[in-house]
Amino acid sequence: MKTQKNISKVLLYTLLIAGVICSIGPFYWMVIGASHTSGEIFKVPPNFLPGSELWTNLKNLDESIGILKVLGNSLTITLIYTALALMICSASGYAFAKFKFKGRDAIFFVLLLAIMIPYHVTLIPLFKMMAALGWINTYQAVILPNLAYPFAIFLMRQNMKALPDSLLEAARVDGAGEFKIFFTIVLPTMKPSLAAVAIFLFMFQWNNFLWPLVILNEQDMYTLPVALSSLIGLSKVDYGQLMMGTAISTLPIMIFFLLLQRQFISGMLGSSVKE
């Protein structure tokens, strides 16, 4: 019995560790690659240790896409988007979770349905709309279309449901206005959920590719993913530079995630994960 238990333990750990190598390996490879030249990246047998070309790659990357400008675009768009979307989605989530009003279920159903609609359907009319407004190559064109993000509203609603009604009632009896209740009771109590949804929204916009690709066509306005994809289109691809770019686009979000992962994962699941 004891040996059997040990055997299954060894098997389990082998499986799990093999899985970890597969899922983390590419990140390691990316960081290593960012410090090598194209030639060194494609050496056989491969290099598994960091190289010395980190600064050269960074300099080359800056020359070809203007990494600071691109990083600034991505950060500006993502931060403004996250702040606005968080306000809009948490307000709606609160309404759907804690109020009874005419049309509530119908509106919520339509929002849920929108999760199933492929984003591509809206692509061309949105493009035409932005063109008509003269908003091609603007931040607002990237930010506006996804502000009312159905999945985030859904998550907020799930989390807000846990808020006790008696708390809200007590505040109302005390004479607090609805806005006051929302800002001084609901939002502070929901901080962990807000954080989780904020990370979710941040990642969505940071990684967003297809819409920015369509709406941004001036290199000065590119976001990080769009700028990276433009590097692949070149006739001679500098892979060291490219790896540097992917590392810059991935590492901040990885660190961000590692710091906040507990909140993020539980928030994603509607606070149903118990440790």
Partner 1 sequence: MAELQKETAAKQVYEPKAHKKNWITPKNFPYILIAPTVILFCLFTVYPVISSFIMSFQKSDGAGMAFVGLENYVRLFRDPLFLTALKNTFFILIIQVPIQLFLALILAAALNSKLVKMKAFFRISYFMPAITALVAYSIVFMIMLDENYGIINYFLSLLGMEKVGWLTSTTWSKVALMIAITWRWTGYNMVIYLAGLQNVSESLYEAASIDGAGRIRQFFYITIPQLRPIILFTFVLSTIGTLQLFDEPFILTEGGPNNSTLTISLYLYQNGFKYFDFGYASAIAYVLVIMIAILSWIQMKVAGDQD
The residues in 44-83 that bind partner 1, with binding defined as CB under 8 A, are 44-46
Residue 16 sits in the site that holds partner 1 (CB under 8 A): yes
Residue 15 sits in the site that holds partner 1 (CB under 8 A): yes
| Smallest distance from partner 1 to CB 275, Å | 8
- Interface with partner 1 (CB under 8 A), residue from 101, 132, 218, 236: 101
Considering CB under 8 A, how many residues would be counted as binding partner 1?
A: 94
Residue 131 sits in the site that holds partner 1 (CB under 8 A): no
Residue 20 sits in the site that holds partner 1 (CB under 8 A): yes
| Smallest distance from partner 1 to CB 203, Å | 6
| Smallest distance from partner 1 to CB 165, Å | 12
- Interface with partner 1 (CB under 8 A), residue from 52, 119, 161, 220: 119
- Interface with partner 1 (CB under 8 A), residue from 225, 238, 263, 267: 225
Query: Which residues contact residue 266 at a Cβ distance below 8 angstroms, ignoring those fewer than 6 apart?
Result: 192, 196, 272, 273
CA 265/CA 56 separation, integer angstroms: 37
| Smallest distance from partner 1 to CB 221, Å | 16
Residues 228-247 that bind partner 1 (CB under 8 A): 228-229, 232, 239, 242-243, 245-246
Residue that is written with structure tokens 């979770």 in the block? 97
CA 225/CA 62 separation, integer angstroms: 15
Token pair in block for residue 202: 């941040």
Radius of gyration of the chain (CA): 23
Token pair in block for residue 138: 């603007």
Residue 121 sits in the site that holds partner 1 (CB under 8 A): yes
Residue that is written with structure tokens 């590419």 in the block? 26
Phi, psi dihedrals of residue 103, rounded to the nearest 5°: 85, 0
Residue that is written with structure tokens 């003269």 in the block? 134
CA 230/CA 220 separation, integer angstroms: 12
Query: Which residues contact residue 193 at a Cβ distance below 8 angstroms, ignoring those fewer than 6 apart?
Result: 155, 156, 159, 160, 267, 271
The number of beta carbons lying within 10 Å of the beta carbon of residue 193 is 24
Give the number of residues written for the chain. Answer: 275
| Smallest distance from partner 1 to CB 228, Å | 5
- Interface with partner 1 (CB under 8 A), residue from 59, 66, 214, 219: 214
Give the containing element (helix H, strand E) for 197: helix 191-207
| Smallest distance from partner 1 to CB 232, Å | 6
Question: What is the distance of C-alpha 154 from the center of its chain?
Answer: 16
- Interface with partner 1 (CB under 8 A), residue from 1, 2, 68, 120: 120
Residue 187 sits in the site that holds partner 1 (CB under 8 A): no
- Interface with partner 1 (CB under 8 A), residue from 54, 75, 129, 195: 129
| Smallest distance from partner 1 to CB 265, Å | 6
- Interface with partner 1 (CB under 8 A), residue from 94, 159, 216, 238: 94
